[in-house]
Amino acid sequence: MGKIIPYSRLARQQHLNFLEAKRREYRERENYLLRLRKLLFKIEGQMRTSELQQLELFRDLAAHFKIPLEFPSLGDRLGLQQFFNTHPVLVALQEFFAGRLTPEECYGKIVEKPRNFPPKPDKLE
Protein backbone atom coordinates (compact mmCIF):
# COMPACT_ATOMS: atom_id res chain seq x y z
CA MET A 1 0.00 0.00 0.00
CA GLY A 2 1.01 3.54 -0.59
CA LYS A 3 2.31 5.83 2.03
CA ILE A 4 -0.09 8.51 3.23
CA ILE A 5 1.28 12.06 2.98
CA PRO A 6 -0.02 14.40 5.65
CA TYR A 7 -2.10 17.36 4.45
CA SER A 8 0.19 19.88 6.14
CA ARG A 9 3.14 18.63 4.11
CA LEU A 10 1.14 18.86 0.85
CA ALA A 11 -0.06 22.36 1.73
CA ARG A 12 3.48 23.43 2.61
CA GLN A 13 4.82 22.09 -0.70
CA GLN A 14 2.05 23.87 -2.60
CA HIS A 15 2.93 27.15 -0.88
CA LEU A 16 6.62 26.68 -1.63
CA ASN A 17 5.90 25.95 -5.30
CA PHE A 18 3.63 29.00 -5.47
CA LEU A 19 6.36 31.20 -3.98
CA GLU A 20 8.96 29.85 -6.41
CA ALA A 21 6.66 30.46 -9.39
CA LYS A 22 6.03 34.03 -8.25
CA ARG A 23 9.76 34.60 -7.79
CA ARG A 24 10.42 33.47 -11.38
CA GLU A 25 7.58 35.68 -12.63
CA TYR A 26 8.95 38.65 -10.68
CA ARG A 27 12.54 38.11 -11.93
CA GLU A 28 11.39 37.85 -15.55
CA ARG A 29 9.41 41.07 -15.24
CA GLU A 30 12.25 42.81 -13.39
CA ASN A 31 14.77 41.80 -16.06
CA TYR A 32 12.39 43.04 -18.75
CA LEU A 33 12.00 46.37 -16.95
CA LEU A 34 15.77 46.66 -16.58
CA ARG A 35 16.23 46.20 -20.34
CA LEU A 36 13.51 48.77 -21.03
CA ARG A 37 15.11 51.27 -18.63
CA LYS A 38 18.47 50.87 -20.37
CA LEU A 39 16.82 51.38 -23.75
CA LEU A 40 14.91 54.42 -22.48
CA PHE A 41 18.13 55.89 -21.08
CA LYS A 42 19.83 55.49 -24.47
CA ILE A 43 16.89 57.05 -26.28
CA GLU A 44 16.72 59.97 -23.84
CA GLY A 45 20.44 60.55 -24.34
CA GLN A 46 20.05 60.54 -28.11
CA MET A 47 17.07 62.89 -27.90
CA ARG A 48 18.97 65.29 -25.64
CA THR A 49 21.94 65.27 -28.01
CA SER A 50 19.64 66.04 -30.94
CA GLU A 51 17.94 68.83 -29.00
CA LEU A 52 21.32 70.39 -28.19
CA GLN A 53 22.32 70.16 -31.84
CA GLN A 54 19.09 71.92 -32.81
CA LEU A 55 19.80 74.70 -30.29
CA GLU A 56 23.31 75.01 -31.70
CA LEU A 57 21.81 75.43 -35.16
CA PHE A 58 19.72 78.36 -33.92
CA ARG A 59 22.77 79.85 -32.17
CA ASP A 60 24.76 79.58 -35.41
CA LEU A 61 22.00 81.33 -37.33
CA ALA A 62 21.74 84.08 -34.73
CA ALA A 63 25.52 84.57 -34.79
CA HIS A 64 25.52 84.68 -38.58
CA PHE A 65 22.88 87.43 -38.62
CA LYS A 66 24.42 89.08 -35.51
CA ILE A 67 21.25 88.73 -33.45
CA PRO A 68 21.80 88.50 -29.70
CA LEU A 69 20.00 85.47 -28.28
CA GLU A 70 20.03 84.63 -24.60
CA PHE A 71 18.59 81.16 -24.29
CA PRO A 72 17.07 80.12 -20.96
CA SER A 73 18.80 77.43 -18.95
CA LEU A 74 18.89 74.08 -20.76
CA GLY A 75 17.10 72.48 -17.84
CA ASP A 76 14.20 74.94 -18.15
CA ARG A 77 12.17 73.16 -20.82
CA LEU A 78 9.12 75.35 -20.31
CA GLY A 79 11.27 78.48 -20.54
CA LEU A 80 12.86 77.23 -23.76
CA GLN A 81 9.45 76.44 -25.22
CA GLN A 82 8.13 79.89 -24.34
CA PHE A 83 11.31 81.52 -25.68
CA PHE A 84 10.93 79.74 -29.03
CA ASN A 85 7.23 80.63 -29.21
CA THR A 86 7.68 84.33 -28.43
CA HIS A 87 11.00 85.40 -29.95
CA PRO A 88 10.15 86.80 -33.41
CA VAL A 89 13.34 85.61 -35.12
CA LEU A 90 13.01 82.11 -33.72
CA VAL A 91 9.35 81.98 -34.77
CA ALA A 92 10.33 83.06 -38.30
CA LEU A 93 13.09 80.45 -38.46
CA GLN A 94 10.78 77.71 -37.25
CA GLU A 95 8.22 78.69 -39.90
CA PHE A 96 10.99 78.58 -42.51
CA PHE A 97 12.18 75.14 -41.37
CA ALA A 98 8.58 73.89 -41.43
CA GLY A 99 8.28 75.03 -45.05
CA ARG A 100 5.74 77.79 -44.43
CA LEU A 101 8.16 80.57 -45.46
CA THR A 102 10.42 80.95 -48.46
CA PRO A 103 14.06 81.91 -47.88
CA GLU A 104 13.27 85.46 -49.02
CA GLU A 105 10.33 85.80 -46.62
CA CYS A 106 12.38 84.37 -43.76
CA TYR A 107 15.28 86.71 -44.47
CA GLY A 108 12.89 89.66 -44.54
CA LYS A 109 11.48 88.73 -41.15
CA ILE A 110 14.94 88.16 -39.70
CA VAL A 111 16.35 91.53 -40.74
CA GLU A 112 13.19 93.44 -39.79
CA LYS A 113 12.59 91.80 -36.40
CA PRO A 114 15.77 92.81 -34.55
CA ARG A 115 14.58 96.41 -34.61
CA ASN A 116 11.18 95.37 -33.26
CA PHE A 117 12.19 93.02 -30.45
CA PRO A 118 9.81 93.00 -27.54
CA PRO A 119 11.37 94.71 -24.51
CA LYS A 120 13.24 92.39 -22.15
CA PRO A 121 11.29 91.62 -19.00
CA ASP A 122 12.66 93.16 -15.83
CA LYS A 123 14.56 90.71 -13.71
CA LEU A 124 13.03 89.93 -10.34
CA GLU A 125 15.27 90.83 -7.48
71 sits in the region (left: phi over 0; alpha: psi -120 to 50; else beta) called: beta
Report the pLDDT value the prediction gives residue 114, as an integer from 0 to 100.
53
How confident is the model over 64-84, as pLDDT tens digits?
Answer: 999 998 888 888 889 999 999
How confident is the model over 12-59, as pLDDT tens digits?
Answer: 999 999 999 999 999 999 999 999 999 999 999 999 999 999 999 999
Does residue 123 register a pLDDT over 60?
A: no
